[in-house]
Amino acid sequence: MFKKIKVFAFVGPSGTGKSYRAQMVAGEQDIHYIIDDGLLIKDNDVVAGESAKKAPTKIETVRRALFVEENQRKKMRRAIRLINPESILILGTSEKMVKEIAENLALPEIEKIIYITDVASEQEIENAKRIRTVEGKHVIPVPTFELKKGFSGYLLDPLQIFKTRENDIPYISEKSIIRPTFSYIGNFTISDAVFRQIIEYLATKTESITKILKVRVNKSEEGPTIYIEVEIKFGIKIVTELSEFKTKCIKELERQTSMNIVNMIVSAKKIQLPNEVDNTNNNYIDFD
């Protein structure tokens, strides 16, 4: 089906650091698309698929990574057909696995297989195994904020790695460290500052809101409840505009953090007045 696509593979046992080094290997081969654990990744962005690590069992994780289900295969084939990449790097734990993935996705035969031992020392591989075994951590080669809503694994710290582009200018490539659903070790937290920064950014894109005054986040096992106080422009339809801003905030926060927002309250505390209405030294009405 995809005869013109060059297919490469990156192979190594589970927990040896393949995902950690995937983008480095892809860059050395001038490959921009990676297939890893059910995801199609372009550089640092998830462009198609669903992470196999959100599966409830290890068996189901393997099935999703191999694209065993017909519906999953069709969706990924459709995405590849639309993107039409020049080359793809497939990650797997064995030659058999990467060949099965290529076959299930109707990709051409693999031209070259790169092994983890080709790019990592024995000590580095042992360290990666220790982290996987002792701490239960997995790496997905995309930033934390690129993980799709509904991802059910435990998110841990984003892993920032300094890299260099062709022009020798360093930049940060971020990868997401997670524990999959079937791991029961620990939990995850996201700083309140992250929620505020996202909300403040959305406010700059909302004409009716002039300022975010307060953001309070209460966290629970089900997800955070967020209270927001805002300053609004004079003359707007307050209920409508705040409702639309609330919907926008919930959608973007869930997309970027993969957390379920239990509830959100957006309250207008000040109104910014236009000059022709303002007859005082203040340019706003304070509801308090």
What's the whole-number mean pLDDT along residues 200-208?
Answer: 92
User: Whole-angstrom Cα distance, residue 153 to residue 56?
Assistant: 9
pLDDT digits (tens, 9 = 90+) for 33-64: 999 888 898 876 788 888 776 666 777 888 88
Residue whose C-alpha is closest to residue 22's, from 7, 38, 6, 11: 11
What's the whole-number mean pLDDT along residues 236-259?
Answer: 87
Residue environment code for 31-47, b if the CB has 16+ CB neighbours within 10 A, otherwise e: bbbbbbbbbbbeeeebb
Residue environment code for 255-278, b if the CB has 16+ CB neighbours within 10 A, otherwise e: ebbbbebeebebebbbbbbeeeee
Q: Domain 192-286 is of which CATH architecture? A: 2-Layer Sandwich (3.30)
Q: What is the chain's Cα-based Rg?
A: 23
Q: What is the pLDDT of residue 106?
A: 93
pLDDT surpassing 80 at residue 280: no
First to last CA, the chain: 66
pLDDT digits (tens, 9 = 90+) for 135-146: 445 554 454 444
Collapse the DSSP code of 20 into the 3-class scheme (helix H, G, I; strand E, B; otherwise coil) and give the result.
Answer: helix
pLDDT surpassing 60 at residue 151: no
Please tell me the pTM assigned to this model: 0.49
Q: What is the pLDDT of residue 285?
A: 59
Report DSSP state, residue 93. Answer: S
Q: What is the pLDDT of residue 54?
A: 67
Confidence of residue 221 (pLDDT cuts 50, 70, 90): low
| Tokens matching residue 277 | 């209405």
| Tokens matching residue 232 | 């609004």
CB atoms within 10 A of CB 184: 9
Q: What is the pLDDT of residue 253?
A: 85
User: Whole-angstrom Cα distance, residue 166 to residue 16?
Assistant: 28
Look at 143 and 101; give whichever has higher pLDDT.
101
Domain locations along the chain: 6-179, 192-286
pLDDT digits (tens, 9 = 90+) for 263-274: 999 999 999 887
Confidence of residue 119 (pLDDT cuts 50, 70, 90): confident
